[in-house]
A and B are shown apart, each in its own frame.
Chain A
């Protein structure tokens, strides 16, 4: 799990003068499950296609096992891809689709038969050998696409939003299935998605991208607990993001009050972004609170209530199991470990304010595919 397999150095990609990828630096370890996560147009699919050999970077290098492979065409790379809409060959049946790569490599029919059969078992499609592609459901086609790629025993499997076309229930099953296959085969998966929950569930490493740049690389826990800037904090989960001043190590000031925190290494009196996750906030009575505000909206979400509280004109989202009616005046307490400090970035001030909660937040929740509702 430690050996480096792929390295991208100063990768730049331009189409018609437009910069799609802006100096991407990334290394991918052997047997790792790495996810490229970001909104559409962030450059994640382009990065994948560069690794797959379908695009030649404008500048920068792609290294595979330490060798530069910029000019190695796709068909000579020991990398296989699971395409977004599967791209199964409609003129071939399930068996012939999976055997396609092995036949190109001129393996013996006996070996092909063994490996295809083994693969069909791994993706639970035994007995489907002679089915036409068009007669399969989305989930089955998905499995064929995975089998067709994996049967070639690639060092790396690239997956481009492979679960995007499946419905919610199937998507959840396939997430577990993919993770299981990756561990069983012991190969590197590079996975592209815009779904943060999918990324958190499956990955060893997440690479958050936006506007052609890498915003943060880290484990799912790192990314969630220690977001590097307002974009990451907002894209992964919900966040209240406030302007603050770092007075000293472990001392931050916002809303005119000093708070203890656990972050160090900032300049004295540096302006910072303060992130507070909605589920970390404890509601107490008004006289006990560090801050006090009025509840302006409550939405029942099943496990918790989404409660919007107005603190001096700035609205916070608080996720709590305690029901506080609209109009009630409440206090909140913040523990030092609940407060996360970030340097100011180009994204400061763009995210993390729930003033327009009813419209915006609901919209985002819907757009995320309604994971909460089914």
Chain B
């Protein structure tokens, strides 16, 4: 049975990765047709780095992802601290609202925000309200639940006496937060922020509805590419991004593994400086 599971799992991983292999191979293809390999070339990568539009789109995506995940992290961490102190109905009401963007289909979230901005544009008599700000607002909104749902469990795991101990030793509540609580919930904040960042970087559906002509992100532009014959340099970009994300994930994995073993082992000499 276990052997069957093993081979089955290998098959499933092949299934998951075959399309990405196809894209990676296509990025080295001399020919234009993705289905026919006409010989090896690196020129697609050269084309990619000469294509200012694609690089600008990538930059836009990164700007939105960094800004939205940072703002969501600050806002969400503060919110988690507040929600954690709440009791009863208030708390469950807030958690229900937090879960709306998680359970609602992306298309509905996208449509609802598009309509909100259209409505606001009508009210404020702005013709093209869609753009950088609407995109940023939408991304912050769908990033927030990831932060909260990652930070809340860390707060629950934390020994509540730790905060009191810090107050007892002379910290103001603010100092106590930065010197003690923050250290305790940091793993939650980091994993929430990373999740938010990747979700934001890769988001297509919601961005698609709230984006304007002035500011477009990469996934949205890729969508319009896929409607016509696609340029192979896009495959090159895909392959590079695959590598970047792979490296990021491996690093994260190693960090987590080290964190886990560090907790068990006696740490090496470390003195001075909190």
User: Considering the chains assembled together, what is the distance between the CA atoms of A9 and B121 in angstroms?
Assistant: 63
0/1 per residue, B160-174, Cβ < 8 Å to A?
011011111111110
- DSSP class of A's interface residues: helix, strand, loop or mixed? mixed
- Contact count A vs B, C-beta below 8 Å: 88
Does B271 lie within 8 Å of A130, measured CB to CB? yes
B274: chain A residues within 8 A (beta carbon): 92, 96, 99-100, 103
Does B161 lie within 8 Å of A104, measured CB to CB? no
Does B271 lie within 8 Å of A104, measured CB to CB? no
0/1 per residue, A72-96, Cβ < 8 Å to B?
0111000111011101111111011
Does A87 lie within 8 Å of B170, measured CB to CB? no
User: Considering the chains assembled together, what is the distance between the CA atoms of A129 and B268 in angstroms?
Assistant: 11
Does B161 lie within 8 Å of A93, measured CB to CB? no
Does A148 lie within 8 Å of B167, measured CB to CB? no
Chain B residues packing against A (C-beta within 8 Å): 159, 161-162, 164-173, 175-176, 179-180, 183-184, 263-272, 274
Does A75 lie within 8 Å of B270, measured CB to CB? no
> Could you give 8 example pairs across A and B, Cβ below 8 Å?
A73-B167, A75-B167, A81-B165, A91-B183, A96-B271, A104-B169, A130-B268, A130-B269
Does B266 lie within 8 Å of A132, measured CB to CB? yes
B132 CB to closest chain A CB (Å) equals 38
Does B171 lie within 8 Å of A132, measured CB to CB? no
User: Considering the chains assembled together, what is the distance between the CA atoms of A75 and B174 in angstroms?
Assistant: 11
A129: chain B residues within 8 A (beta carbon): 271
Beyond the given pairs A75-B170, A91-B183, 6 more chain A to chain B contacts, judged by CB atoms under 8 angstroms and listed by A's residue number, are A54-B164, A80-B168, A90-B184, A131-B266, A132-B266, A149-B169
B240 CB to closest chain A CB (Å) equals 37
User: Considering the chains assembled together, what is the distance between the CA atoms of A100 and B271 in angstroms?
Assistant: 12
Cβ 8 A contact of B270, one of A83, A93, A134 = A93
B169 CB to closest chain A CB (Å) equals 4
B231 CB to closest chain A CB (Å) equals 50
Given contacts A75-B168, A148-B169, contact A89 B183 (CB under 8 A): yes
B269: chain A residues within 8 A (beta carbon): 130
A132: chain B residues within 8 A (beta carbon): 265-267
Does A104 lie within 8 Å of B170, measured CB to CB? yes
A221 at the B interface (CB under 8 A): no
Closest 9 CB pairs of A and B: A87-B161, A101-B169, A87-B165, A74-B167, A91-B183, A104-B170, A135-B266, A83-B161, A81-B168
